[in-house]
Structure 1
């Protein structure tokens, strides 16, 4: 089974070479095979967002390699990194970041149009994804007319709109109440399993982490495999 993502000896510091330099990531190694869902658990301020940004090609490491689907993209051009983010990666955050002036359907259509998909095909995929998460009757609603859990489900659909091979999620249910969080997380896991996605999901919720295939822990810049 080949790896969708491989992080190799990733180092990252802020104020590098200056007084007060902060080493955030210290020799991080992580491989995520196809179809595997990995929980990333870390205390606040431990660098999990930095790690996700590097894995998602939104930031570059000081040293080390980021290999996505067999291609080393650590020092790739901005154009190639943008293309990889658009085609191969899906992102979900704690806050949904939906475009408020557009409907649920339109929020899922737009990234597809930006990727050159025809409007008809984009609309069909958006409706199919929204139906899968139980939002068929909310397609025409704007975010302000939807609950927090519904908005986050739309965000999941948007992240999957372009058929990525890897989903990166930063506390995707952290802004929801416990009951809604559990339900919405279940929807996310069903989507991931059905599409054969790999995923790296940061969470503080150990119960949710236990539902994933592996748990890794980031502490003081060091990544380790957590006991199950």
Structure 2
């Protein structure tokens, strides 16, 4: 089994803007993410970090280059196979929580597991354990609208972890929070990541948060560089 959870090789992405012509966002980005490694992705707005994360998580396809998840090449795979891999291997966290407003916090974490074939009892037990691990178990029966911003985002972390993925992709996961709440929520995320031993690629503008991860990569002019 490969020790690499994610390998991006020569990733290019070009968009056709009609009369404005083509815009090349990624120009041959390379990245390797080891098992249990937490990497910060730092880039200015508009540099293409969300595009890179979507390609890494199989939500988008590159114009050129290859994506491997847990040693398995994804290029040329059917939509069904890509969806199955994304559902079982990858968890996503975004700047906005995207929780389903009509369901409770517990139900939001249970639903991805049911979709993945887990029984309701087992799904509820795992969901409560996850919510407890980030300090919001007592809010399990509340809907998202009744939760604070920090609580909403911690529930979103649990939902991303629901199917025990090997890879977590997070796009500015604390970007909507005030500094104090951001620090607490990020600490909860890192504790959850370390406890489960998964790999994570976390996009952030916050250099203090980036310094708390294992290493940092910068996206500049469509390419990734270490440091």
Sort the TM-score into its range (normalised by shorter chain).
over 0.9
Residue of structure 2 equivalent to 1:175: 176
Deviations 1:60-113 (A, max 9, x none): 001111000010012211000100111000000000000011000000000000
User: Does 2:7 correspond to 1:3?
Assistant: no
What is the CA distance between 1:18 and its match in structure 2? 7.9
Q: What is the aligned residue count?
A: 226
Q: Distance in 2 between matches of 1:202 and 1:216?
A: 10
- Within 5 A, what are the aligned runs for 1:121-160? 121-160=122-161
Structure 1, gaps ≥5 residues long: none
Residue of structure 1 equivalent to 2:15: 14
Q: Distance in 2 between matches of 1:165 and 1:180?
A: 27
Residue of structure 2 equivalent to 1:54: 55
TM-score in terms of structure 1 length: 0.97
Structure 2, gaps ≥5 residues long: none
Q: Distance in 1 between matches of 2:117 and 2:174?
A: 31
What is the CA distance between 1:21 and its match in structure 2? 1.4
Q: Distance in 1 between matches of 2:108 and 2:20?
A: 45
Given that residues 12 and 64 in structure 2 are in contact (C-alpha distance below 8 angstroms), is that contact kept between their aligned partners in structure 1? yes
Given that residues 10 and 30 in structure 2 are in contact (C-alpha distance below 8 angstroms), is that contact kept between their aligned partners in structure 1? yes
Given that residues 2 and 33 in structure 1 are in contact (C-alpha distance below 8 angstroms), is that contact kept between their aligned partners in structure 2? yes
Q: Distance in 2 between matches of 1:210 and 1:130?
A: 26
RMSD: 1.3
What is the CA distance between 1:19 and its match in structure 2? 6.0
User: Does 2:41 correspond to 1:40?
Assistant: yes
Q: Distance in 1 between matches of 2:27 and 2:103?
A: 42
| Pair 17,65 (structure 1): closer, same or farther in 2 beyond 3 Å | farther
Deviations 1:147-186 (A, max 9, x none): 0000000000000000000000000000000000000000
Q: Distance in 2 between matches of 1:146 and 1:59?
A: 31
Question: 2:152 is paired with a residue of what secondary structure?
Answer: helix
TM-score in terms of structure 2 length: 0.97
User: Does 2:75 correspond to 1:67?
Assistant: no
Q: Distance in 2 between matches of 1:203 and 1:13?
A: 23
Deviations 1:15-50 (A, max 9, x none): 189862111001111000000000000011000000
| Pair 12,179 (structure 1): closer, same or farther in 2 beyond 3 Å | same
Q: Distance in 2 between matches of 1:87 and 1:143?
A: 25
